[in-house]
Amino acid sequence: MRSVELVRFAAGAIVAHPLRSVLTSLGVVIGVAAVVMMTSIGLGAQQRVTAAISSLGSNLIIVQPGAARSGGGGGLVFQGAGSSVSLRDGDVDAIARQVEGVVAVAPLVRSQAQVAAGAANWNTRIEGATPDYVVARDLQIAAGRMFDAREARQGRKVAVIGQTVATNLFGAGDPVGQRIRVRAIPFEVIGVLASKGQSSFGQDQDDVIVAPLPAVRSRLVGRRLRGDTVMTIYVKAASDDILDRVQEDVTKVVRQQHKIRPGEDDDFQTQNMASILEASQAAVATFTILLAAVAAVSLVVGGVGIMNIMLVAVTERTREIGLRMAVGARRSDILAQFALEAVALSLVGGLIGLVIGVAGALAMARLGAWPAAIPAWAGPLALGFSMLVGLAFGAYPSWRAARLDPIEALRRE
């Protein structure tokens, strides 16, 4: 039997029962659509996490106090990052002097305060820093300027504000040159930061005021910190190739500054943005694979549906199979015909599912405000897997049809 005739017979059998064919392919449609959508959502989430973590700063190492031991009565409690105060100005100077390959070292203290400008007021995050802070965090000045080293050293009451603060305090007006009151202490706005958006932790990075470190530490943080204490140290490496080496050197220098003996635990923590990004991407990738695997279960269900309907078709068309064998059709022709029908049903379902999956992924990305990430391999993989499902689950019905005895088949009514 020629290939053209096989295709014609298979297509005719499918078209003869349109509703049954549609319902048979429905499982594959749902399975392929679910796999494409789940994969797209996972990859979109991965891109969003990558962008959010990258916005914190490239080649960045964060040093925070923590992992200090405390407790009484012989008990030991390991505290988390930021739970103790152990970083000083001397640590910042030592890192800047002794660690090679460092572009910027920026100490930071932070507080939360009510800020007012005229009749408007806003509760925001106040960060005391040095001019190197904008270099370490890859910040850009959208208007005005950053305070310089002299202003920072003297603790001048000047500030650079984020876009969120500027909008809530000044609306569409120009904040540069205006006065704001931070807990009744006047500061002059000398610059506005370019928008950074949300961080990977959901924090609005534009809802911030950056002012000279001494001014914030003495006037806003006050007795909560010693005069030379810092809460965080940002260290920017020259390139990502030396990031791990710089992190090791920073750890060694701070241990020396804190006189920590070999074998003793650090009273601080260092975090590498590249390692955090890598760990986050691995976690999201695993989650994406899990989602796709769960969605792929419906493909198996669709395959079982195809096998069920093909077995019914073999039973219904037993006499037809006997007639074809009687006029010369070989068992291989019968096998190929029914296998082709199963593959066609599965492939059509895969095509429809692919279209629905892509449309659904784009719609969900728009609703969720995350990147629409549809991989190039999604289409070929979906169609190839659909064909595989058709072959796998159509194999037994096709074999059963080919093994029918022609005489017994002709007797069947």
DSSP 9-49: HHHHHHHHSHHHHHHHHHHHHHHHHHHHHHHHHHHHHHHHH
List, as one string, the DSSP characters of 237-301.
Answer: ES-GGGHHHHHHHHHHHHHHHTTPPTTSPPSEEEEEHHHHHHHHHHHHHHHHHHHHHHHHHHHHH
One-letter identity of residue 199: S
Per-residue pLDDT at 77? 38
Q: How far apart are CA 18 and CA 41, in angstroms?
A: 33
pLDDT in the model for residue 85: 61
Buried b (16+ CB within 10 A) or exposed e, 249-260: bbbebbbebbee
Give the Cα separation of 167 and 160 in Å (integer): 13
Taking alpha carbons only, the member of 45, 63, 148 closest to residue 107 is 63
Alpha-carbon gap, residue 190 to 154, rounded angstroms: 16
- 37 neighbors 294 (Cβ within 8 angstroms): no
pLDDT score for 219: 85
For 335, residues 6+ apart whose C-beta sits below 8 A from its C-beta are 398, 399, 401, 402
Alpha-carbon gap, residue 89 to 167, rounded angstroms: 34
| Location of structure tokens 């969120």 | 164
**Close Cβ partners of 397 (under 8 Å, ≥ 6 residues apart):** 307, 310, 311, 313, 314, 338, 342
Low-confidence ranges of the chain (pLDDT < 70): 1-17, 49-58, 67-85, 198-202, 222-226, 274-281, 295, 368-370, 406-407, 409-413
Per-residue pLDDT, 11: 66
Please answer whether residues 223 and 229 qualify as being in contact, where contact means their C-beta atoms are separated by less than 8 angstroms: no
What does DSSP say about strands 60-65 and 232-237: parallel, antiparallel, or unpaired? antiparallel
Neighbours of 411 (CB within 10 A): 11
Instruction: Give the per-residue pLDDT at 218.
Output: 85
| Beta strands 120-129; 208-212: pairing state | parallel
Q: Supply the angle between the helices 273-316 and 378-402 in degrees, to the nearest 10.
A: 30
Burial of 320 (0-12, 13-18, 19+ CB in 10 A): middle
pLDDT of the residue at 177: 92
Which pLDDT score, from 0 to 100, does residue 412 have?
A: 63
Cβ pair 113, 123 in contact under 8 A: yes
Mapped onto helix, strand or coil, the DSSP state of residue 56 is coil
- Residue-level pLDDT at 365: 79
Helix (H) / strand (E) containing 324: helix 318-326
Please report the pLDDT score of residue 410 as a whole number: 67
Is the pTM of the predicted complex or chain greater than 0.85?
A: no
Which structure tokens are listed for 31? 């399975």
SS3 211: strand
How does DSSP assign 87-133, residue by residue?
EEHHHHHHHHHH-TTEEEEEEEEEEEEEEEETTEEEEEEEEEE-THH
Interatomic CA distance for residues 103 and 274, integer angstroms:
17
Given a contact cutoff of 8 angstroms between Cβ atoms, the answer to whether 406 and 330 are in contact is no
- At 80, list the tokens: 């988390």
Distance from C-alpha of 346 to C-alpha of 27, rounded to nearest angstrom: 9
Angle at 375 between CA 372 and CA 380, to 5 degrees: 135
